[in-house]
Structure 1
């Protein structure tokens, strides 16, 4: 799972463009990750090593947690635009997770934690706006 989260984070930061599909947003789909790792995804008919949808979703959650830490660290490096980008992205991802009917107990609990990452980044963006450090035309 953490390898997939690292791959997703690298893709979100702008790396691995050659491995992303043409319709990929700023992260890799489960199929893109499967191609990158050269493993099958979400097998149902056979018993073989593969990437499951649950593992993929857990990796996305881990990526969100890392991105919220990156938002805080970006401000210390005077990169005031990145928290805005992160905030927008994780809000969209959180909205997508809220649409899912998660039966898996660990997946449901971990996805509930995304809201804390969203709040953490919103606090950073709010602090930036209070200090007039929000880039022109930017909002989260």
Structure 2
């Protein structure tokens, strides 16, 4: 199964405080372990929400809201994409992770849908389209 591991933002990360050399070193070692174990598919840190935007949908209307956004505890500071055998395996790996923030922090784990989860709504044509797009994206990232 694939999971997204979401590192929640803090007041410091939203203020643009960069991680220390020590934390970068510890995270680098943790990421190496993930890669060697065949777990990590991708991962990135995110800029503060002050540098982002949200697009709000209401029927056919689209409204753009520039950051920063309120409720820091609901924002994302970074993520990983992992391939694991189970949610428990992901939990076990997260427990080994260095604390990503200088104080209290929270990491959320969310399973990613697989094609089977969509049942009959994912027709053979839609499944073929999805596979074609994934292949195209993979080919582009190899360049």
Give the TM-score, by structure 1 length.
0.23
Which structure would you say has the larger RCO, counting Cα contacts within 8 Å and 6 or more residues apart? 2
Computing the radius of gyration over CA atoms, which structure comes out larger, 1 or 2?
2
Give the TM-score, by structure 2 length.
0.22
Q: Which has the higher helix share?
A: 1
Q: Which has the higher strand share?
A: 2
